[in-house]
Amino acid sequence: MTDDTPATTADALLAGAAAHNVGEYDIARAIWAGETPLAPAPAADDSLRTGLAAFATAVLDGRRGEWGAALAGAEEAESALADSDSSAPAGVDSTSVERWLAAFRADPEVAERSPPPRLDIDDDEPTPGELPLSATALVAVAVATGIGDDPEVVIDAVRYARDSDHPETTRYATFVRDYADADAGQRPIVFERLSAMVQRERRKEEDVSGLFD
């Protein structure tokens, strides 16, 4: 089943920033670019998300030593972020990103010597485990898609959480946050537990549905 509650552009900005801040640059790029389930595609005039996705591309390609692709990403990011300066949502600070891009274009090996700047939104540096459910769901689904876990497990967990009177404090929300925030070694364990919870709830739904067949 799918979760019919759409994520917003603000959710995508926050989720991408949180993933970026813990070094999940590929996850951040996919969310900003709208390339994973639940993540809204950026509007044609959304220069901020376009610029951030290109920034993440520059970071990823730079860390791989793919300088041509990295510099092209940096150039695209600089252009898009310059266009977004007057229209960026309040609370989103891209100044440090623009400084890093300028330094990177002058000396691409800066990507190998030091990590890119962390992103600040509303005077905070978000991480996946601290996000509201609507944003952490984007990170968790992007992670599942990226590493080969079943994203439908995460999507159903989010739906079950939202069916509660207090979605943010359900066990489902807790496990979704834990999965989004876990390191590579812990994620299989967290996903196994989350999947078991979801499977139990799915069986309950099937039992109820069978009563009316």
Write down the pLDDT at residue 86.
59
Residues of the chain where predicted confidence (pLDDT) is lower than 50: 1
Write down the pLDDT at residue 94.
87
pLDDT in tens, 126-137: 999 999 999 999
Write down the pLDDT at residue 1.
44
Residue 170's domain comprises 128-210
Write down the pLDDT at residue 84.
83
Spatial neighbors of 98 by CB under 8 A, at least 6 apart, are 78, 81, 82
Are residues 140 and 190 located together in one domain of the fold?
yes
Write down the pLDDT at residue 85.
65
Write down the pLDDT at residue 120.
92
- The CATH number of the domain where 62 resides is what? 1.10.3450
**Which two structure tokens, joined as six digits, stand for 121?**
């939104």
Are residues 107 and 17 located together in one domain of the fold?
yes
| CA distance linking residue 118 with residue 126, whole number of Å | 9
Domain boundary pick from 121, 142, 165: 121
Q: How many CA within 13 A on the CB side of residue 164?
A: 16
